[in-house]
Structure 1
Amino acid sequence: MKIHLAPMEGVLDHILRDLLTRIPGIDLCVTEFIRVTDRLLPRSVFRRLAPELEQGSQTTSGVPVWVQLLGNDPAAMGENAVRASALGAPGIDLNFGCPAKTVNKSRGGAILLKDPEEVYQIAAGVRRALPAEVPLSGKMRLGFHDKSLAIENAQALEAAGVMRVTVHARTKVEGYRPPAYWEWIARIREAIAPPVIANGDIWTVEDLHRCREVSGCEDVMIGRGLIANPFLALAARDPERNCSAEQTWPEMLRMLSVYHQAVSERLEPRHVNGRTKQWLRMMQRHYPQAVALFEQVRAERDPEALKQVLQQASVANPDR
């Protein structure tokens, strides 16, 4: 079994990828999407969104990082895929799943699933442009309004030459509302030859095993579940390891402090606390301790003051 860390726009940046992969269990990361319009992007854009390109295209823990592209122009997508590859990306992933209205309005992401022929043309354009040895994958949802074209879209990606397909088991309209329809992933897996990666609503080790059983997939991709519980992949790998919320909370506080400091060095002060609180808010699903801490810092706007709160919490919660 391989566990992939999902790309999540505005959340899973390189700082968080680095921290999450310091905990054993994640096999591969995919970047936030790089938006392609009708032109070749400067190298600086790739290095800003995928700074791992400067360190062998891997996190500091050695986990490979693929570059994801989003767009609808086959020629421009291919040109930018070649640039990403030349900069060191070990593989290219194509985004056919983003549900954001602003992205869909400009014909990117999940809206492309309305037309399997367009999905094919985009993926085929990238595959033709890339050197044969550079792997290409695609990430899709089950559809836009409904699931009627799910298999056809997956077959379009296969025909275009992708080497694997990741499927988020909901449509764009369904967003992130439970449940995830893993049984539809099984139907796709049976319809195409490339390996299929299952994605959607994996929050616990039990969810992971049930997803694999229902979908029939060997490998999974996890996004929100690993942000809420960064020890999820490790717990799945090592059932004997105590990865409970009580046991791992002190380590999570240290990770939050490291994250807050790194974000402080990268962003303008007015944006810093929002990113830290965003992660802390998502942790509340797994860590009861995060609820009280979030309430304590909810209204805090000063990055230095939030830093002090995190440091005090770490002192009050030493390793067990």
Structure 2
Amino acid sequence: MSSPERVNSPERISGPVVLAPMEGLADAPMRDVLTRIGGIDWCVSEFIRVTEGLLNVGTIRRGVPESEHGWRTRAGVPVRPQLLGSDVRWMGENAALLASMDAPAIDINFGCPAKTVNRHRGGAALLTEPELLREIVASVRAATPTHIPVTAKMRLGLTDTSQTLECAQALADGGAGEITVHARTKVEGYKPPAHWEWLARIREAVPVPVIANGEVWTTEDYRRIREVSGCDAVMIGRGLVRCPDLGLRILQDTDAAVLGWDELWPWLADFFRQTRLRVVDRHSPGRLKQWLAMLGQHYPQARELFDSLRRETSADVVTRRLEGPLESAA
């Protein structure tokens, strides 16, 4: 079965839609499929962890294979690499390495809520240390040629919003040219609601563009987050994975589905083919099941397919199912 064709998208008249970095979810196959379906202006990669020392170029290439193709997906959508770490010196050194690889921009992760990341002073754990945020961004900015944007992603705080504005200002003072804000604290995780009103406060407090992020599932959510926040650009994560045509819906300013299940079907097969090239066969069915479970929010057929594959561990069996007739999918 050949790869499905990219969906032709109308020209955007609204603000940019950005695919969020999501560890273990928005990997290269997912980025490829979602950007070919359309409606996404750029992506941020899963985080690249920095400890002490230079990253291995091969590791970067494996995590962000788009780096070998001008840092763009097959649809031509730019992918910005994201660094995560707390070592000021090595964050800068590795930013210089990415710049030498012609990265289109370098993003810094101050938003990841994962316990394993936070325990090692990464992601949202640093939101109690505004001065360290400033130093990290300043190190990355100083190590990166001026024509390459340095951006940052943060949450509203670790446990509360007492330092929210101070953290955002520290990022801007350090040289971040753009700040994405997930409108929840670390301890709130992904529990609704997202506090969109804070996005407006942050936007008024810093002299750089703010990208709104958090709890965008529909075109109406997109309209409302822009209205409440005043932000032009919106980053969407799980909303795009659950509803792969959400970017197209936003482009067309409609809440109606653009892709039916029969149109989505070839993309599932394509995603799984790509996943098998990157993941050992015993793990690849799990990645498809993860996506099907999320797609079930919009497609009843995805729930049925998930149920039928729930205990399936053979990648060959899954491939035959996806490359067989749609009528036998569930």
Question: 1:23, 1:231 within 8 Å by CA — same for their partners in 2?
Answer: yes
Structure 2 counterpart of 1:223, from 220, 230, 237: 237
Structure 1 counterpart of 2:194, from 175, 180, 185: 180
Structure 1 counterpart of 2:50, from 30, 36, 42: 36
CA distance in 1, matches of 2:277, 2:232: 39
CA distance in 1, matches of 2:59, 2:326: 36
1:85 to partner: Cα distance: 1.3
CA distance in 2, matches of 1:94, 1:266: 25
1:33 to partner: Cα distance: 0.3
Quote the residue 2:285 is aligned against: 273
Question: 1:254, 1:314 within 8 Å by CA — same for their partners in 2?
Answer: no
Quote the residue 1:154 is aligned against: 168
Quote the residue 1:238 is aligned against: 252
Change (3 A) 1:34 1:205: same
Aligned amino acid, residue 60 of structure 2: F
CA distance in 2, matches of 1:35, 1:153: 21
CA distance in 1, matches of 2:255, 2:125: 42
Question: 2:111, 2:155 within 8 Å by CA — same for their partners in 1?
Answer: yes
Aligned amino acid, residue 288 of structure 1: P
Quote the residue 1:293 is aligned against: 305
* Match runs of 1:55-70 below 5 Å: 55-70=69-84
Quote the residue 1:212 is aligned against: 226
1:129 to partner: Cα distance: 1.1
Structure 1 counterpart of 2:63, from 49, 57, 61: 49
SS in 1 for 2:202: helix
Q: CA RMSD in A?
A: 1.4
CA distance in 2, matches of 1:138, 1:220: 14
CA distance in 2, matches of 1:184, 1:208: 16
CA distance in 1, matches of 2:101, 2:56: 11
CA distance in 2, matches of 1:132, 1:142: 28
Partner deviation per Cα, 1:168-224 (whole Å, 9 max, x = no partner) = 000000000000100011110111110000001100101111111111111100010
CA distance in 2, matches of 1:124, 1:248: 47
Aligned amino acid, residue 41 of structure 2: D
CA distance in 2, matches of 1:282, 1:313: 22
CA distance in 1, matches of 2:86, 2:134: 11
SS in 2 for 1:30: strand
Structure 1 counterpart of 2:317, from 298, 305, 308: 305
Partner deviation per Cα, 1:122-155 (whole Å, 9 max, x = no partner) = 1111111111111000000000011111111000
CA distance in 2, matches of 1:107, 1:74: 12
Quote the residue 1:250 is aligned against: 262
Question: 1:67, 1:93 within 8 Å by CA — same for their partners in 2?
Answer: yes
1:315 to partner: Cα distance: 4.7
Quote the residue 1:118 is aligned against: 132
Quote the residue 2:11 is aligned against: none
CA distance in 2, matches of 1:217, 1:316: 45
Q: Which runs of 5+ in 1 are unaligned?
A: none
1:310 to partner: Cα distance: 2.3
Quote the residue 1:83 is aligned against: 97
CA distance in 2, matches of 1:126, 1:240: 40
SS in 2 for 1:94: strand
SS in 2 for 1:123: helix
Q: Which consecutive segments of 4 or more residues in structure 1 shift more than 4 A?
A: none
CA distance in 2, matches of 1:121, 1:248: 48
SS in 2 for 1:251: helix
Quote the residue 2:31 is aligned against: 17
1:309 to partner: Cα distance: 2.3
Aligned amino acid, residue 226 of structure 1: L
TM-score normalised to structure 1 length: 0.95
CA distance in 1, matches of 2:306, 2:319: 13
Q: Does 1:197 align with 2:232?
A: no
Aligned amino acid, residue 283 of structure 1: L
1:241 to partner: Cα distance: 9.3
Partner deviation per Cα, 1:14-57 (whole Å, 9 max, x = no partner) = 11101100022100111000000011112111111111111111
SS in 1 for 2:217: coil
Q: Does 1:145 align with 2:159?
A: yes
Quote the residue 2:294 is aligned against: 282
1:308 to partner: Cα distance: 2.2
Question: 1:154, 1:188 within 8 Å by CA — same for their partners in 2?
Answer: yes
CA distance in 2, matches of 1:242, 1:175: 29
Q: Which runs of 5+ in 2 are unaligned?
A: 1-14
How many equivalent pairs are there? 315
Question: 1:253, 1:313 within 8 Å by CA — same for their partners in 2?
Answer: no
